[in-house]
Amino acid sequence: MSLDLYDDRRLTSEAVGGPDKWKLEVDGTPMTLSNLDRVLYQESGFRKRDLIDYYAAVAPVLLPHLRDRPVTMRRFPDGTSEPGFWEKHCPDYRPDWVETATVSSDSRGGSIEYCLINNLPTLIWMANLASIELHVPLARVETPTVPDSVVFDLDPGSPAGILNCAEIALLINETFERQGLRSFAKISGSKGIQVYLPLNSPDIDFERTGAFAHSLARGFESELPDQVVSRMTRSLRKGKVLIDWSQNSRHKTTVAVYSMRATPSPSVSFPVSWQLLERSLDNDDRSLLACTPDAAIDSLSSGDHPFQPVLETQQKLPG
């Protein structure tokens, strides 16, 4: 077994306790992996070892987007053909080197101890739990009321699809460009697109970003009533793109960039350029807005970090 990394770290392993368990050392941290040949995606034969290999490969670009954010895992121990489950509480059986953060939970009237995926060993441990999807909030644990971005989650209502989302994403970006702001897009890895407006300012809170996002969504709904809806009511969404502004809350999470998705075939939530969105529309080609794990790794092998500006660009909300 080998797990390839794009930096100079290497993982060493040996079989222990039979073929279903492997003793591993990751950056000096010992761990045991199990059931590596278990198929997680039936259609493609994608196994748990492939999931671990993928997350190890993208770790250099993924970890900065997870750092110090409470992670909600979506786990599929029996593969995506079986019902998975959401896990907020960091498992009690976690190794002592897994960092955690206790976060208050208004809905539960208490607190939740979340996992923090701040390093490669924890990322590999998480993948070994068959945590296919990683979802994170817009704020870090030390500043839970301060989002570092505004996110617009574009979700198509059938028969609308991802190309309709691309059209609305481009219009949102044009709106920001006119105000001298930079925004960035990623495909969700499922059927939609998410647009991020980075702020990275301590002088902001969710009350302001939520109100801003809601206002923009309602404005688009008013201007494009046949294409856009800002309300969650399912009966209103047929053939339209929902601009889900409600993600801008300290109690909500969004699938992390570079996270895999529990779709029928392996897919990844991956950054897309505005030029690629335009090309997909010009060619009426939705295949340009899909990304497999292999395609993600190939794209990142050049050393580019296309979503890094979301963590670094400092801007102020308009108005």
Answer with the residue of higher pLDDT: 25 or 126. 126
Domain with CATH 3.90.920.10 in the chain: 12-136
Can you give the pLDDT at residue 304? 87
219 pLDDT band, cuts 50/70/90, is very high
Secondary structure tally for the chain: helices H, strands E: 7, 19
Can you give the pLDDT at residue 139? 98
CB distance 132 to 262 below 8 Å: yes
107 pLDDT band, cuts 50/70/90, is low
Average pLDDT over residues 15-32: 76
Taking the domain 149-252+270-304, which CATH number applies?
A: 3.30.70.3300
Q: Taking the CB of residue 207, how many other CB atoms lie within 10 A of it? A: 12
The pTM (predicted TM-score) of the whole model is: 0.93
What DSSP line would sit under 214-272, residue for residue? HHHHHHHHHH-TTTEE-S--GGG-TTSEEEE-TT-STT--EEPTT-EE-SSS-EE--EE
Average pLDDT over residues 100-110: 81
Can you give the pLDDT at residue 225? 97
Can you give the pLDDT at residue 217? 98
* Interval 284-311: pLDDT, tens: 999 999 999 999 999 999 888 999 999 9
**12-136 sits in which CATH class?**
alpha beta
Report angle CA 10, 186, 84 to the nearest 5 degrees.
70
Average pLDDT over residues 114-119: 98
21 pLDDT band, cuts 50/70/90, is confident
The pLDDT mean for the chain works out to 92
Can you give the pLDDT at residue 9? 37
105 pLDDT band, cuts 50/70/90, is confident
Among 21, 42, 37, 74, smallest CA distance to 256 is for 74
* Interval 150-205: pLDDT, tens: 999 999 999 999 999 999 999 999 999 999 999 999 999 999 999 999 999 999 99
CB distance 267 to 260 below 8 Å: yes
Can you give the pLDDT at residue 10? 38
For residue 25, the one-letter residue type is E
Sign of CA dihedral 59, 62, 66, 67: positive
* Interval 227-267: pLDDT, tens: 999 998 888 899 999 999 999 999 999 999 999 999 999 99
Return the percentage of the chain with pLDDT > 90, whole number.
85
Domain with CATH 3.30.70.3300 in the chain: 149-252+270-304
Indicate if the pLDDT at residue 226 is higher than 90.
Answer: yes
